[in-house]
Structure 1
């Protein structure tokens, strides 16, 4: 490198490279682009999904005028041009949007620094007279626009399936979006995000009932290894643990998001780790060895 730098500088100073496509004139200096470092990767590593919990006008006002933002907004009624949906880009992808807040995922914190955020106009949920949540569904037009947008982002930045997450995954103690009715399984089938293999889930269930009680400490360890960094490791089904289990269930088992530590939740977590975190699979205690390997029960 020492021998080539003088030659480069001589070339630039002599004026021979000033018209080259590889040199850029900037404010007070030139930048030469003939060399690229191998030690680099994309800044964007995560794709985060949200709902706005507001209508269109309130969503746009909040995301453009207040101290919160996202890179993209999908309206409740996306326009279409020549058969393709129109989404609103509110923040340049090269810039940091303020959508994730205090957040954690798989050893990484402050995900605003390394993510793109997509907001969808959806009211989230309301509560009935008994305090039960009633979730608002996503429309087909939302899903079609989201699939087109997300696939493009994922391809350009090579975002891995396990790093396509919801706000409730990265901030499970304070957020519920994109909600129980977000179509994670359909998106995964389209190449967007993670989903467990059903046969692997069945193998890990090992003839147990879906809702049979499971060891809380095992589920805490599994969810920690998959990416839910905030989950306690105390073997107790405390409030934080229950919220984080519920967030996991909302993503991967939405028909029951009670937050209980059950056999199916454990089996889904193990299947996800097999698929996306094989090097991080937790060691099994004697009491759970037969669950991981049904053949060992013989």
Structure 2
């Protein structure tokens, strides 16, 4: 019996001698939340198909908002990285999967017809569910409302979602985003109508707002794509990629608030 007790004591001492001891008495004040962005998407698929793709496919998202009823599904824990953003960039940060929460909304996206592209609206129930979900996420994670963005914002060459019928102003009115003041835009538009800024100016202002765009000074394909994306979000009535006075005014007003 004495030999058994001695053997157990030796094993205990051996475990203590090799065990890892961590001193946690000096916590650093230099840190913040991993989650910096919320990226909004439409699924371009039905609810059943969306659930299948987001749970067993190659892509994933933290949340999915259904259609009729607008039930909110959590598919990935917020502490884990979901595969929803892909090759992406916003405000100098790249590959946003690692720093964002993804929210997918069941919506067909669009259909191309002989008379043009038809976009599909979001239901009132979906909008209300989204606003409630965003308020909860933003409050818990301390996310800057400027960093509630669309998939098209972070990948303008590849993506169109959440599309021109997404209610960005409704979100901004709820404190969940940004929107240019109409009176200030009208004042600035009168000035820019008299003299349009250079293409380089547009590129600089788009980059300041957050878009990834090279400062080439040329109205190249990428610049048109980014302009279209910006217009689709803030002027959905016409998003043609043309660097006009109204677009300049909206950029000026939005960036003046940064």
Unaligned residue ranges in structure 1 (runs of 5+): 1-27, 80-85, 277-298
Aligned residue in 2 for 1:142? 126
Partners of 2:93 and 2:85 lie apart in 1 by 12
Q: Indicate whether 1:71 and 2:62 are aligned.
A: yes
Aligned residue in 2 for 1:157? 141
Aligned-residue Cα RMSD (Å) equals 1.9
Residue from 109, 114, 120 that aligns with 1:129? 114
Native 8 Å contact 1:103 1:110 kept in 2? yes
Say which SS state the counterpart of residue 217 (structure 1) adopts.
Answer: helix
Native 8 Å contact 2:192 2:249 kept in 1? no
Aligned residue in 1 for 2:251? 269
Partners of 2:79 and 2:42 lie apart in 1 by 22
TM-score normalised by the chain length of structure 2: 0.87
Aligned residue in 1 for 2:214? 232
Say which SS state the counterpart of residue 103 (structure 2) adopts.
Answer: strand
Unaligned residue ranges in structure 2 (runs of 5+): 1-18
Aligned residue in 2 for 1:45? 36
More helix by share: 2
TM-score normalised by the chain length of structure 1: 0.76
Aligned pairs for 1:77-156 (under 5 A) are 77-78=68-69, 86-130=71-115, 132-156=116-140
Partners of 2:245 and 2:24 lie apart in 1 by 55
Native 8 Å contact 2:192 2:248 kept in 1? no
| Per-residue deviation, 1:207 | 5.1
Partners of 1:32 and 1:269 lie apart in 2 by 50
